[in-house]
Structure 1
């Protein structure tokens, strides 16, 4: 792997960690999703830096990014665009929406109606949108960073399983420790540090890194280990629905991306184990009814399954 590409990865990660203080693991997982060409769902209470992570990542890449504030009255056309009649030419002209960006921050995604949420489905899975029978390709790279508050239900619409399945990982931010919070207070004394961030990589360089991820070697032993975890979710007594084939592919790609971030050209078992809960927990359905606020319970179930699988030597 070219040394300059590895240097870019380190520079990108360091640039984001300048403003996202005390959350290196969250930043690392967001970069895993970016290099895997996938999307991320940041979930936690308001005010812990979910949007900040998205803005820091977007500002570190010299592409086009937008922030969409999801509200109950947001329409699908407000996201993907629409055909507008041009009276001078007597033709309909397509006007692209904000989804035609390299990085899209979908803030409070669960506040919009299911119809509007579904407008993202085709974009996230196929990197294209279809309007009035015409297909329009989205730029590369393309990434959706969505945020939501899992503890607030007034005026919200929970994401359906098909929508959740399009996110590579669901990540909880958590509160920063005291030292990190002190640093945050000091750094925000005179302004917003994220506004001062400059791009460190181009879209073409991100595309090269994404291509490099696909070349990361995954041995047959590692693949079997990954499949053992997937099968474990399907046979678990705690889960009604286990991980899908798409979930297995997502974990495979995430492990490759994590290996690249560590500067390796091959995947090791720890890559798979480290990411398994974040990649799989939001894709499985537990037996009985669990309140959405009990996300930790589902993650604990998946974590136990992962621990029970023997790590290949």
Structure 2
């Protein structure tokens, strides 16, 4: 009976959408685990169709809400009813909230979550996390939300990883053509897609499946492998934590059990750890399927030298928490920082500490020009101010507006203050790819570039990328040098090839010409190199003068065993930038010898 019901659900999703197997599995896991799912992808890939098919096939009472920049909290939880009642010798105005669509639904489809303004998004995420409203429990089981990719500029602020943590399932949906799924694309031409799939299981069956998933046992060996895998994912994230404590100790365990139920297993096994991949679409966007499989293959091995004793202690500290399912896990694992997994290698330790040191210092400079807020009629409502004109009536507080129109309120009513986040500046990353920049130095430079891209992304900075040796090669996205296509920049940082000799003048000319062609403030250049310039002007005098005139801060990072070129210190000192000197250690790793404005 269980296998038949699950097969019927999977078949309904297959009839509704071609391809997108990961997204379909993610939707099924969310429905069986009573968790929320977030599907991200460009327009036209079937996000809304898949979400709608999932909630209809599960025989819920689905509610579909399309979010936009003017979405208010009342549109989600219900409208406000106003009435007058006698009070002494006069009257007073009373109000109550009528139950809205979100308060009575079991399954909800939220379209365009990334377009919701902060005024509605904050309470919405709180409802999703607590499943209650004003102290009353809600029948809410699962919410399936859709959103566009990060690189699309919109009026709303980009969704932060912390905001999306309420969504245990996070899957990215590339288009079939982009992913080169030509076999699936041909099916679209044949028209073999069901337009409106109906329910395939009833409410009792759905709840019985959810209860079966919740009761599946998880052996201690799987628990230890799970902790080990999460530690390795943390290491891949360069010291970040892809899973919050809430997700690690509660939501992920329910997802693992739901995955075991999908397989028809009687308990959670090691292979069910693959369900974590459906939770990392936005938590670890750079992690590929092959990289995840490598991490999974290494997880749980007894002698992983880079984990140290803390990993074994973390696995032993699980106790009975994993078996209970809903109890938070209290294991505390030591912090492990690294960029790429090298099984059997020494713990990098100081290497990663130096990377963090460089990134923190440069990030502090970016912070000075952090994207602030400015008032904009097309922005998101963030606060209140006094009504200025009749064109703002629809943004006015309804209670105060009625009092003003009745003459019982002496002043003008409050209206939303709409604001838009300003651009956060520009930074050009100049990376040396000459013949000597290979192996360990190249990987270290890649970590710095990737870390700076993430730091710029948090501040909505436009980033340009140049690779140089004896020549300079600039990379464009959408015809622009400075852009916010952060994912493509991370891919470039991970795939450079070393060849040729070194010239400082060529990359600085390219970057400064781009700065000269556009106005702005909070502008930075980060120059990463390991060699002495042998081509062009080694002192780059004209470029230093131009950088000062344009107000561009040039930060230099030199990696190598020899003396760093004095010109790097002069460039940083004259432009108000920072200068770093990193030297490889004899036994492995790198250390920073100089740090400051000049050296």
Choose the corresponding residue for 2:189, options 180, 185, 192.
185
With normalisation by structure 1, the TM-score equals 0.82
8 Å contact kept, 2:114–2:147: yes
- State the Cα distance separating 1:299 from its structure 2 match: 8.0
Shift, 1:53, TM fit? 0.4
Structure 1 pair 64/245, CA: closer, same or farther in 2 (3 Å)? same
Secondary structure of 1:74's aligned partner = coil
Contact 2:82–2:96 (8 Å) recurs in 1: yes
Q: Which residue of structure 1 lines up, in the alignment, with residue 219 of structure 2?
A: 219
Distance 1:56 1:223, change over 3 A: same
SS in 1 for 2:282: helix
Q: 1-side partners of 2:205 and 2:94: how far apart?
A: 38
Counterpart CA distance in 2 for 1:5 and 1:220 is 26
How many residues are aligned here?
A: 289
Structure number with greater CO (CA < 8 Å, separation at least 6) is: 1
Structure 1 position 109 matched with structure 2 position 113: yes
The alpha-carbon distance between structure 1 residues 311 and 123, as it changes in their structure 2 partners (threshold 3 A), is farther
1:42 and 1:145 in contact (8 A); partners too? yes
* Residue-by-residue CA offset, 1:107-159 (whole Å, 9 max, x unaligned): 111111122111222221122222xxxx333225x211111111212213222
1:309 aligns with 2:329: no
Q: 1:67 aligns to what SS in structure 2?
A: strand
For residues 37-85 of structure 1, the C-alpha deviation after alignment (integer angstroms, 9 at most, x for no partner) is 0011101111011111011112212221122111111011111114423
1:296 to 286, 295, 307: 286
So what's the TM-score if we normalise by structure 2? 0.45
The alignment status of 1:203 with 2:207, answered yes or no, reads: no
Note the alpha carbon deviations across 1:147-192, whole angstroms, 9 max, x for none. Answer: 111121221322233321111121112223223222223327xxx8
Deviation digits for residues 210-269 of structure 1 (CA, Å, limit 9, x no counterpart)? 111111111001011111122334455713335322222322211110110111111111
SS of residue in 1 equivalent to 2:98: strand
Deviates most, 7-16 or 95-104: 95-104
Change (3 A) 1:159 1:298: farther
Describe the SS at the equivalent of 1:238.
Answer: coil
Cα distance in structure 1, aligned partners of 2:3 and 2:84: 52
Q: Which moved more, 1:68-77 or 1:149-158?
A: 149-158
Question: Which whole-Å CA distance do the structure 2 matches of 1:203 and 1:79 have between them?
Answer: 24
Alpha-carbon distance in structure 2 between the residues aligned to 1:81 and 1:162: 26
Alignment equivalent of 1:48, drawn from 45, 56, 68: 45
Aligned mates of 1:88, 1:239 — CA distance in 2: 59
Secondary structure of 1:239 counterpart: coil
Q: Distance in 1 between matches of 2:64 and 2:237?
A: 41
Query: Where do 5+ consecutive residues of structure 2 fail to align?
Result: 87-92, 303-599
Matches within 5 A, 1:1-313: 4-85=1-82, 92=95, 94-99=97-102, 100-130=104-134, 135-140=135-140, 142-150=141-149, 151-176=151-176, 177-187=181-191, 193-195=194-196, 197-235=197-235, 238-248=238-248, 249-272=250-273, 274-280=274-280, 282-283=282-283, 295-296=285-286, 305-310=295-300
RMSD: 2.7
Report the Cα distance in structure 2 between the residues aligned to 1:13 and 1:88, rounded to whole angstroms: 55
The equivalent residue for 1:290 is none
Query: SS of the residue aligned with 2:171?
Result: strand
User: Relative to structure 2, which stretch is displaced further, 214-223 or 239-248?
Assistant: 239-248
Check whether the contact 2:214–2:254 (CA below 8 A) recurs between aligned residues: yes
Runs of 5+ in structure 1 lacking a partner?
A: 285-294
Work out whether residues 22 and 278 of structure 2, in 8 Å CA contact, stay in contact via their aligned partners in 1.
no
**More helix per residue:** 1
Larger gyration radius, structure 1 or structure 2: 2
CA distance, structure 1, for counterparts of residue 220 and residue 28 of structure 2: 25
Mapped partners of 1:300, 1:80: distance in 2? 43
d(CA) in 2 for partners of 1:237, 1:260: 30
Residue 13 to residue 178, structure 1, CA distance change in 2 (3 Å) = same
